[in-house]
Amino acid sequence: MSRSLFLFACAALLVACAGGPPPPDWQLNAHGALQRAQEAYLSGNSRVEAAEFARARAEIARTGRADLLARVELARCASQVASLVLDDCTGFDRLAQDAAAPERAYARYLAGRAEAQDAALLPPQHRALTAPGSGGSALAALDDPLSRLVAAGVLMRTGRADPRTIALAIDAASSQGWRRPLLAWLGVQALRAEQAGDSDEVARIRRRIALVGEGAPGSR
């Protein structure tokens, strides 16, 4: 799975996989559960996501490592931002005092409150997005679909999402079959077309939304 954001969130869980003795069961179990939780969330399956995330969290809690739990909570919040669920990251907030500086910087980034000194602490693919004038052009430079969606969500949160941002986010979600963010971003696109008085475009987007909804869990 070559998703840079996922690797950022899980790097601490994978250190033992790079070589040396076999990793402990909790490490493998937590990594697998978090991976499944993320995919379920983006695909729109909340029930599976909740169960797998709880499993990942329980495995990590066995270690007593609040810093690892904080990182996993950030991974969950990043998926939510990618899907335009822009609530507070309360799971991370409860653990923030035990998180490292890069995690606290990333939390501020997700919340749209990144400071100038945070840029150097962020994953490389997100650093350009902290610039005040950054928008669709900076987003286009991100190859990883999830990183692109997260960055687009941050741009939306900070009022910098231009039409190109929305189009790039839609393309990223569509290419991966990620129903939840795709529907969210199509909704934004439809709203802006409606505000512009473009009834033909609104109708086209709504047809696409209906098509995506046909494959949703429980839709049949």
d(Cα 216, Cα 220) in Å, to the nearest integer? 8
DSSP 170-188: HHHHHHHT-HHHHHHHHHH
| Contact of 151 with 126, CB cutoff 8 Å | yes
Predicted local confidence at residue 19, as pLDDT? 53
Phi, then psi, of 48 in degrees rounded to 5: -65, -40
* Mean pLDDT (the chain, rounded): 87
pLDDT digits (tens, 9 = 90+) for 132-176: 666 677 788 888 999 999 999 999 999 999 999 999 999 999 999
pLDDT band at 215 (very low <50, low <70, confident <90, very high): low
Specify the pTM: 0.88
40: helix, strand or coil: helix
* Cβ partners under 8 Å of residue 215, min gap 6: 179
pLDDT of residue 23: 81
Model pLDDT for residues 8-51, shown as the tens digit of each residue: 445 444 444 445 677 889 988 998 999 999 999 999 999 999 99
Output DSSP code: residue 96.
Answer: G
Tokens at residue 42, please?
A: 């983006």
